[in-house]
Every structure is written in C-alpha cells, then in structure tokens.
Amino acid sequence: MLRQQKADFVTKMKADLTKAQTVLFLDYTGLTVAEADRLRVKMRASKVSYVVVKNALMRKAVAGTSYEGANKYLKGTPTGVILGFDDPVAAARTTYEFLKTCEHVKVKGGILESKAISPSETEALSKMPSLREIQAGIVGMCLGPAGRLLSQIKSPAGKLVGAIEKKGKEEGAKA
C-alpha cells in the first residue's frame, strides 16, 4: 500500500469504528480460504462487516480515541476486524457461532460502546439477548396484562349473551 492509501484506510477505519456499535478483533491464524469464505458469508448474512487489517494501521485508527486501550489486542499476526453496526450483540453472536465450527480462530478482544473489552467480555456479549429479542419481550410484557383484562371483561359479557340466547331458544321452542 502506498502512504496515501494507508492514510485513507486509517481515516475510513476511524469513521467505521465511530459508527460501529461492536468491534471484535480476531486472530485468524490457520484459517483456510474455505473457512474465510464461510466466515464472510455468515457475517454478510448477519449484516456485519469483516476486514483483515495490519495491526499498525489499526493502532493508528484507534489512537487518540476513548477506546485506545484496545491497542493491547492489536499484536502478533494481522487482525481480522468484525464491525457490527446495527445490533451490538449480532456481531459477537455470529462470531462465536462460527468459532464453534472453527476452533483455531480466537477472539483477541474488542470494542463496545467506545470502550475496549476483553475476550471473556466479548463471549459474555455473545450470550446476551439481541435487541430484537429484548424488544419482543417488552412488547409481550406490555400486551400480557391488556390481554388478560380484555378476556376478563369479555368473559362475563359472553356468559350473558349465552344465557340470553339459551333463554331465547327456550321461549322459541315453547311458542
């Protein structure tokens, strides 16, 4: 890469890091081409981005930010960077689902809400419910009492209508 290309890449990566809700750093040592393709497909399906970055460029991208502590995870082999823009849990969950089938890939660390997080924290994040699951639970909790109230109001009225119909049939049979 030329110097200008590197500078442009760092600028773009800084912008992506600012927009991302979750960032995970992978040590992808031993990842085959077929496994890398499976990882990219899985990430695309979850609307998560995956790029391979030189550690020096990534350290420049995080320099001077609130998550500069993530530099400690940017050592050794080049790093696979997973960027989750929509749901903070989706990137971690998708990554750990992939890691079940590809055990030689390891999570080095990550960034969540502008703070560096450890590999154990990224794993804990992957086990949390997603934003949609939380929203569905809240809606269910809100609709539960309303549904019970409606059935309690409707039940006596239904019994009354049933009694009236029964009485009407009895009167109709007598006539």
What is the predicted pLDDT for the residue at 25? 92
- Strand-strand pairing, 48-53 and 22-27: unpaired
Per residue of the chain (175 residues), what is the pLDDT tens digit?
788 888 998 899 888 888 888 899 999 888 889 998 999 999 888 889 999 989 889 899 888 888 888 888 888 888 899 998 888 888 899 999 999 988 888 999 999 888 888 988 988 888 887 777 777 878 777 777 766 666 666 666 667 667 777 777 777 776 6
Which candidate, 134, 137, 130, 133, places its Cα nearest to that of 22? 130
pTM of the model: 0.71
CB 82 within 8 A of CB 27: no
CB 83 within 8 A of CB 20: yes
What is the predicted pLDDT for the residue at 90? 86
What is the predicted pLDDT for the residue at 154? 67
